[in-house]
């Protein structure tokens, strides 16, 4: 039962993923969550995120931000990194994952998802058939509803790591 929430990969950071190798394997689109995946919750894009997005675009990736946040938050981040975005995405519902792939001109076989939450980011991407990367949250300060979900995530990750 818990396996439906398991990520395909569990890594320390979005900044440590070998995107070059994944491109060689045929991946062409990356969908990112923003908060606690790329920057701390609510923070603007920083030098590291701008550099990453520049590198990914130079490799040939299409990049989409998929966030449950309202447009001002997502647009502010996007304006600095120059990707495309969908706000108020309703994750884990699959509709906007599919819409993101349509806009990227990719499909579930050549798209990646990178996010920090199991029950929204990863579960939604898995339901859409996308390869998932769960990253460790960048910063411990989070909204209360996320803090509560983190306790449940620890249970799922315990069993996930035990099976690896």
pLDDT confidence of residue 4: 87
Distance CA 88, CA 6 (A): 24
pLDDT digits (tens, 9 = 90+) for 137-161: 987 666 656 666 777 888 888 888 8
pLDDT at position 156 is 86
pLDDT at residue 145 in the model: 66
The CATH code of the domain that includes 28 is: 3.40.50.1000
- How many folded domains does the chain comprise? 1
Long-range CB pairs of 106-112 (<8 Å, 24+ gap) are 106/28, 106/29, 106/62, 109/26, 110/26, 110/27, 110/28, 110/29, 111/27, 111/28, 111/29, 111/30, 111/31, 112/22, 112/27, 112/29, 112/30, 112/31
Domain span at residue 23 reads 2-163
pLDDT for 155 equals: 84
Q: Residue 149: what pLDDT?
A: 77
> Which residues of the chain, if any, have pLDDT below 50?
none
Q: What is the pLDDT of residue 107?
A: 98
pLDDT at residue 50 in the model? 98
């Amino acid at each position: 039962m818990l396996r439906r929430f398991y990520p395909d990969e569990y890594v320390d950071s979005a900044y440590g993923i070998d995107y070059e190798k994944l491109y060689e394997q045929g991946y062409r689109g990356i969908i990112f969550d923003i908060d606690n995946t790329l920057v701390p919750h609510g923070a603007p894009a920083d030098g590291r995120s701008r550099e990453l997005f520049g590198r990914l675009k130079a490799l040939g990736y299409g990049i989409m931000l998929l966030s449950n946040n309202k447009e001002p938050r997502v647009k502010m981040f996007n304006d600095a990194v120059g990707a495309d975005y969908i706000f108020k995405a309703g994750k884990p519902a699959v509709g906007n994952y599919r819409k993101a792939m349509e806009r990227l001109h990719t499909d579930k076989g050549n798209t990646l998802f990178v996010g920090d939450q199991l029950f929204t980011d990863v579960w939604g991407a898995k339901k859409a058939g996308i390869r998932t990367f769960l990253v460790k949250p960048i910063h411990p300060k989070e909204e209360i509803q996320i803090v509560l979900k983190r306790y449940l995530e620890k249970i799922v990750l315990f069993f996930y790591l035990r099976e690896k």
